[in-house]
Amino acid sequence: MNGIRVGNLFGIPFYINPSWFLVFGLVTFLYGSDLSRFFNLSGPYPWILGMVTALLMFSSVLLHELGHSFVAIRQGIEVKSITLFIFGGLASLGEESKTPGDAFWVAIAGPLVSFMLFGMFTAIGIFANPPQPYGTIVGLLAYINLILGAFNLIPGLPLDGGNILKSIVWKITGKSYRGVAFASRFGQIFGWAGILLGANALFGFTESLFGVRLFGSTWTLLIGFFLLQNAGRTAQSAEIQEQMSGLTAEDAMYPNSPLASADLSLREFANNHVIGNEANWKKYLVTDADGKLIGQLEVDAMKTVPTSDWWDVSVRSLMEPIQSLPSVSANEPLIDVIARIEKEKSPALIVQQDDGRVIGLVERVSIMEMMQRRAAAEEESSQQEQLPEENASEFSSTPK
């Protein structure tokens, strides 16, 4: 989510999404008008109090997010940003916790902060007994924090309760994506529940049945849509992770990776690798007799040698020597390979056996192609996404 950068909170970039101003204005107006009515206040006074209440309310949301953030930071996780938006706050974490136990503590820290604030405002209300209208404002803030803690404990992603549920399923199954899949299904159920409650409040389907409307509002409807959309997205990414579980770098290599032995003559290289090769590689990785990487050969470089000499010139003599390229081990889990491609921004990784023998090349395109082959094998190929061409590396077989 993007927004206007407001500053830093304990070193964490703090943003406000434009949608927040709408709800801030609304909250200020509602509290201001309530205060002026209940306490017969006039002039700008109730509006200033309304605005202060709204600011304290959003400070409560911010403290909730800082609760998540501090626990994450203690686990060595980077907190990329905290953003306030129309539905509350969002702490964006750089990565997932390492264990289900750690994930549990990050998730519950926010609601715990809210419950502590509830306790604090309740205690102020009881022991300090502030004069009106301040007593009412303190009571309101206690109530807001109670709701904030309780609502977020609803056990469906993307809510905190969903993350707690995820950590429990992760603990039981040993797979974090199982937890995500499970908790996001619950998130979708709660999303639909919110939409139905909200629609019911607006259009009154149940009025004739029960005589009263169930609680709900336009707001419930909007939150329902928000939950449904986010839960659907996380469910999808968990599904992809599930499909990739058990697969390795070797599974995702190009079946016909651009590899050639240094000791071939150019004629043999052309006959065996280039001519009739549908992949149409522009560049080949060159290996020595032990299968170790020693260079790369641009197919175009062969044009500098007359065809009549091709039997006498070796791949070795025409290749560009290279020391090394980013590589992965053949049995590295595919999920980690994708993380490496993302993190190192290296479009292609060489796949090596434990003895250093190069067996292929893996990149986004080859991963996508492998997933497509698997999907086609399951006769579900219709839904697969095509990868945009710009993600392809210089090794890519896609003709430009």
Residues marked as catalytic: 65
Residue of 310, 356, 347, 303 lying closest to 329 (CA atoms) = 356
In the complex with Zn ion, which residue's Cβ is closer, 65 or 250?
65
Question: What x/- string results for residues 345 through 374 when contact with Zn ion is judged by CB under 5 A?
Answer: ------------------------------
| Residue 39 dihedral angles phi and psi, to the nearest 5° | -110, 10
**Binding segment (CB under 5 A) for Zn ion, from list 151-159, 293-301, 306-314, 331-339:** 151-159
Q: Rounded to a whole number, what is the largest CA-CA distance in the chain?
A: 102
Residue 400 CB, nearest approach to Zn ion (Å):
47
Spatial distance between the Cα atoms of 9 and 150, rounded to a whole number of angstroms: 25
Q: Does 251 bind Zn ion (CB under 5 A)?
A: no
* Closer residue to Zn ion in complex, CB, 72/350: 72
Nearer to Zn ion, 102 or 160 (CB): 160
Q: Give the whole-angstrom CA distance, residue 346 versus residue 356.
A: 20
Complex with Zn ion: residue 152 or 188, whichever CB lies closer: 152
Q: Which span sits near Zn ion by CB under 5 A: 12-20, 160-168, 188-196, 280-288?
A: 160-168
Task: Output the smallest distance, CB 64 to Zn ion, in A.
Answer: 5
CA 311 to chain centre: 53
Q: How far is the CB of 160 from Zn ion (least distance, A)?
A: 4
160 vs 363 by CB, closer to Zn ion: 160
Of 149-157, 189-197, 273-281, 302-310, which segment contacts Zn ion by CB under 5 A?
149-157
Q: Hey, CA dihedral for 175, 178, 183, 188, is it positive or negative?
A: positive
Quick check: 88 binds Zn ion (CB under 5 A)? no
CA distance 288 to 304: 23
Q: What residue number has its CB nearest to Zn ion?
A: 110
Closest approach of Zn ion to the CB of residue 166, in Å: 13
Closer to Zn ion at the Cβ: 160 or 250? 160
Nearer to Zn ion, 46 or 161 (CB): 161
Residue 110 CB, nearest approach to Zn ion (Å): 3
Shortest gap between Cβ of 3 and Zn ion (angstroms)? 18
Name which position in 102, 160, 250, 363 contacts Zn ion (CB under 5 A). Answer: 160
# residues contacting Zn ion (CB under 5 A): 3
Among 50, 110, 155, 216, binds Zn ion (CB under 5 A): 110
Residue 160 or 332 with smaller CB distance to Zn ion: 160
> Of 349, 373, 365, whose CA–CA distance to 249 is shortest?
349
Question: How far, CA to CA in Å, does 69 sit from each of 89, 94, 95, 156?
Answer: 12, 11, 12, 20
Q: State the minimum distance, in angstroms, from the CB of residue 67 to Zn ion.
A: 7
Give the shortest CB-89-to-Zn ion separation in angstroms. Answer: 7
Of 122-130, 158-166, 181-189, 353-361, which part binds Zn ion (CB under 5 A)? 158-166
Query: Which listed range, 38-46, 93-101, 104-112, 123-131, lies at the site for Zn ion (CB under 5 A)?
Result: 104-112
Span interacting with Zn ion, options 30-38, 103-111, 292-300, 304-312, rule CB under 5 A: 103-111
Taking the C-alpha atoms of residue 166 and residue 187, their distance in angstroms, rounded to an integer, is 11
Sequence-separated (6 or more) residues with CB below 8 Å from residue 93: 68, 72, 77, 78, 79, 80, 106
Site residues (vs Zn ion, CB under 5 A): 110, 152, 160
